[in-house]
Amino acid sequence: MPDTQTNANGERVLADLNALRAIGAYKTGVHKPTFSEPHRQSLDWLVQKLPDAGLSATIDGIGNVLGTSTKAGPKLLAGSHLESQNYAGWLDGPLGVIYALEAARVLNADPSVKGAVEVAAWCDEEGHFGSFLGSRSYVGQVTEAEIDAARDRTGGRAMRDALAEMGLSGRARVAVEPGRHVGYLEAHIEQGDTLESSHLAVGVVTSIVGIWQYRINFSGEQNHAGTTRMAVRKDAGLALAKFCVAIDERFPDTCGPRTVWTTGRITLEPGAPSIIPGGAEMLFQIRDDNPAVIARLEELLRTMADEASAKGPCTVSVEKIRTGAPAMMNAGFQDAIEAASKAVAGGRSIRMPSGAGHDAQMLATVMPAGMLFVPSIGGISHHWTENTADVDIVTGAQVFVDACRRILSA
Amino acid sequence: MPDTQTNANGERVLADLNALRAIGAYKTGVHKPTFSEPHRQSLDWLVQKLPDAGLSATIDGIGNVLGTSTKAGPKLLAGSHLESQNYAGWLDGPLGVIYALEAARVLNADPSVKGAVEVAAWCDEEGHFGSFLGSRSYVGQVTEAEIDAARDRTGGRAMRDALAEMGLSGRARVAVEPGRHVGYLEAHIEQGDTLESSHLAVGVVTSIVGIWQYRINFSGEQNHAGTTRMAVRKDAGLALAKFCVAIDERFPDTCGPRTVWTTGRITLEPGAPSIIPGGAEMLFQIRDDNPAVIARLEELLRTMADEASAKGPCTVSVEKIRTGAPAMMNAGFQDAIEAASKAVAGGRSIRMPSGAGHDAQMLATVMPAGMLFVPSIGGISHHWTENTADVDIVTGAQVFVDACRRILSA
């Protein structure tokens, strides 16, 4: 395939991304929670743009925007999401939607390209109301009861009320049409520093890691912080601290090369300055794309808990509260992205897993899926300073469009 | 002094304590927050009882009950408090009030005893609305502005509203009358296990420890728990855990024989399972009756923080938020309690500091003060299972009455 064919228009891509940034702007980022006014305006903006790519646009009953084509030939679904975390960055989500829009604009109008790119903006990937609600709905995993119960985690607004205010009450939800698509392709900022620190332009995602989450409980004895001698205390908070340090010491010998683990929340009971904590809890998360690694680490965790309980004075229990199977990216799609990188980005790409979750992991349950990463400056994400150099945004768009062309012609 | 004089009536003491337990009973303890209905009834109960001891009773404008005598001779002030922590024990407070009442009943009617015991029930020792409000008011340390601002820490009710509902609005607060009292004596359950584990009946309190409190802050870098490699993380929560463990390892070499220290509260920012904490905070408390020991430990704490900051990747800062000078108990009062223990309890006493705060530390700022402890079963306090064996309650009462007699005749 020659490299001289029509490709992404970098200026148009940057202009579109900046147009979306202007809706709900916050400092250099955006504040665009799901079903907020800026989110609604962003969906409408996309609906207005899709016809330029030869696509018919609809917003479905859960807030997914879908652009469909009547062009003959294979269809490749591409997209990401338009809402943001609270007071967060401008590229997390919109980058993938605009790349998909650009690919559709370039390829759908090109009679030499067999088939078309269809565009999706999945609603609430950021989880204001639930977990991947839009893409999960599309793959058939969201019930009406789940929507009935969903509330905004920040303000508590019921999802049904939010849908009504968006004018979406009673609309059907669009579900995957088996056989319609050859697969799904999504671009995203890396949200880490692997590409930047290696001076690379493109990450070819091999898998989206699974997330395993544990609630680790420490049970001691609540007592008076003034009258209880150190020697007889059963301080659940101290037991927790020792356990955190032990994880830090022992996990590196057992983990895989890319495993990450995080204690994100700690609670002491009752949490008063003059009371020795009788109970303590930590939320602990492990991510890896290899379930065998997770299994080893979980066994280590349980062994450590048993050892700590046997040693005393507190008892430790480990409860698994979330199991997330990793999503493998399609091998052919990885090859297409790598070939596109060689063709238009000097081959400055690397294969890597995604440590963060993305809509692609939901789509991967029903069709071949692939992901492309562009560098994140300083690896920063979920913060208004999140950014990517313009040159990297443009290069990424060119690789993405070229990869779509290769997949459609495969 | 002969040991055969009229002494405490153990059955009467137990009956009175059980009468107070029946007001606001919760399981085997009580739920009697300051200015609750059971608290009001308990104050009224005491007001009804004080004339039996030859005392005139008043409730002052902050809810202190004071029983005053017109008997000639020296006056010894004695008492404790009647409210409880939420859902807590039956003896923390009432024991000292009933011992004082019993001492007044026995000694004020005895013409051979020169002078009288006067009784006080200090309001809100348990700190529902403030810190030692009743006894601090009596020693002149509470302003009207502090009362204006005070609110119930559980329900948020304004103290002014609570005082109005108690019928105490506009009443004068009674202040210490310089020269009136030879001193103040208070009995209390130990709230620790020193007496029980040594099979002793009486603790002769040497001092009430000071409480120093610190806010220790850890500053790292908030980041995505999936995309940030372990090697580049600046996890403030992990830094906090390591600091807790380091305190546990290093404090024992520097502390005094009775120092206690406690991390009562830990907060991670932002405290979400998928975000590496960028900030963390612990509330840390040290108690000792020797300020030199505290000074050494505070220096160690600051050294450890500097070392941790220098080592990285997080910075640690230590902020002192409370300095509490220890209150020394009067040497003559200690001797009187010890002599009483020899006379009526077979000398089964030990001198010990109080690790908990008590109204006696406020009274000690304006007059000689002493405290007597009785054993706590299992060292439990601030819990409804708090208890003391009846035989220990009765022995304690006898020692208390005898100690009062000795102080009045000194």
Is B146 part of any domain?
Answer: yes
The CATH number of residue B308's host domain is 3.30.70.360
Q: What is the DSSP letter of A53?
A: G
CB contact (8 A) between residue A224 and residue B194:
no
- The answer to whether residues B14 and B136 belong to one domain is yes
- The answer to whether residues B225 and B90 belong to one domain is no
Q: Name the residue with tokens 């520093």.
A: A193
- The answer to whether residues A132 and A189 belong to one domain is yes
* A153-163 average pLDDT score: 95
Instruction: Give the pLDDT of residue A5.
Output: 62
**The two structure tokens encoding residue A50:** 């899709």
The residue out of A263, A297, A322 marking a domain boundary is A322
How would you write B308-325 as a 3-class SS string?
HHHHCCCEEEEEEEECCC
Evaluate whether B294 touches B210 at the Cβ level (below 8 Å).
Answer: yes
- The answer to whether residues A185 and A232 belong to one domain is no
CB contact (8 A) between residue A354 and residue B227:
yes
- In degrees, rounded to 5, the angle at the alpha carbon of residue A268 between the alpha carbons of residues B381 and B388 is 10
Instruction: Give the pLDDT of residue A1.
Output: 42
Cis ω before B270 (30° cut-off from 0)? yes
Substitution target in B86, B224, B240 with the highest count of A β-carbons within 10 Å is B224
Q: What is the DSSP letter of A330?
A: P
* A240-267 average pLDDT score: 97
Is A5 part of any domain?
Answer: no
Residue B128 annotated as binding site: no
- Give chain B's residues under pLDDT 70: 1-6
All residues of chain B having their beta carbon less than 8 Å from the beta carbon of residue A229 are: 192-194, 258, 260
Is B91 part of any domain?
Answer: yes
Is A4 part of any domain?
Answer: no
Evaluate whether B223 touches B237 at the Cβ level (below 8 Å).
Answer: no
CB contact (8 A) between residue B226 and residue A265:
no
Give CB contacts under 8 A, 24+ apart, made by B318-321.
Answer: B318/B214, B318/B215, B318/B216, B319/B214, B319/B215, B319/B216, B319/B217, B320/B212, B320/B213, B320/B214, B321/B213, B321/B214, B321/B215
Closest-CA residue of B relative to A215 is B273
Residue A338 annotated as binding site: no
Residue B126 annotated as binding site: yes
Cis ω before A270 (30° cut-off from 0)? yes
Could you tell me how many CB contacts below 8 A there are between chain A and chain B?
A: 190
- Give the residue from A184, A135, A188, A132 showing the smallest Cα distance to A352: A188
Is A256 part of any domain?
Answer: yes
- The answer to whether residues A219 and A197 belong to one domain is no
Banded pLDDT at A123 (limits 50, 70, 90): very high
Instruction: Give the pLDDT of residue B398.
Output: 98
Q: Tell me the β-bridge partners of B281.
A: B217, B267
Q: Determine the Cα–Cα distance for residues B162 and B63; give it in Å rounded to an integer.
A: 10
The CATH number of residue A37's host domain is 3.40.630.10
Residue A181 annotated as binding site: no
- The answer to whether residues A139 and A198 belong to one domain is yes
Count of structural domains within chain B: 2
* A49-56 average pLDDT score: 98
Q: Give the domain range for residue B193.
A: 10-209+328-408
- The answer to whether residues A83 and A228 belong to one domain is no
Bridging pattern class, strands B181-189 and B327-328: unpaired
- The answer to whether residues A370 and A391 belong to one domain is yes
Q: Name the residue with tokens 């995309």.
A: B227
Instruction: Give the pLDDT of residue A346.
Output: 96
A288 Cβ contact partners less than 8 Å away, ≥ 6 residues apart: A209, A210, A255, A256, A258, A259, A260, A294, A297, A326
Instruction: Give the pLDDT of residue B4.
Output: 46
The residue out of A322, A338, A358 marking a domain boundary is A322
Is B3 part of any domain?
Answer: no
CB contact (8 A) between residue B264 and residue A283:
no
Where b means 16+ CB within 10 Å and e means fewer, B168-179 reads: beeeebbebeee
- The answer to whether residues B91 and B114 belong to one domain is yes
Q: Determine the Cα–Cα distance for residues B66 and B305; give it in Å rounded to an integer.
A: 48
Is B2 part of any domain?
Answer: no
CB contact (8 A) between residue B382 and residue A276:
no
The residue out of A322, A342, A358 marking a domain boundary is A322
Q: Name the residue with tokens 């024989």.
A: B257
- The answer to whether residues A132 and A19 belong to one domain is yes
- What is the amino acid identity at position B30? V
- The answer to whether residues A331 and A375 belong to one domain is yes
The string of pLDDT tens digits covering residues A281-302 is 999 999 999 999 999 999 999 9
**The two structure tokens encoding residue A91:** 């590229």
Q: Beta strands of B241-348 (E only): which ranges?
A: 260-269, 275-276, 279-288, 315-322, 327-328
Is A3 part of any domain?
Answer: no
> Would the pLDDT of A274 be above 70?
yes
Instruction: Give the pLDDT of residue A3.
Output: 42
B280 Cβ contact partners less than 8 Å away, ≥ 6 residues apart: B217, B218, B220, B236, B237, B239, B240, B266, B267, B268, B269
In chain A, the percentage of residues whose pLDDT exceeds 90 is 92
**The two structure tokens encoding residue A181:** 């698509």
Q: Exposed, middle or buried, A143 (CB in 10 Å: 0-12/13-18/19+)? A: exposed
- The answer to whether residues B214 and B201 belong to one domain is no
The string of pLDDT tens digits covering residues A307-358 is 999 999 999 999 999 888 899 999 999 999 999 999 999 999 999 999 999 9
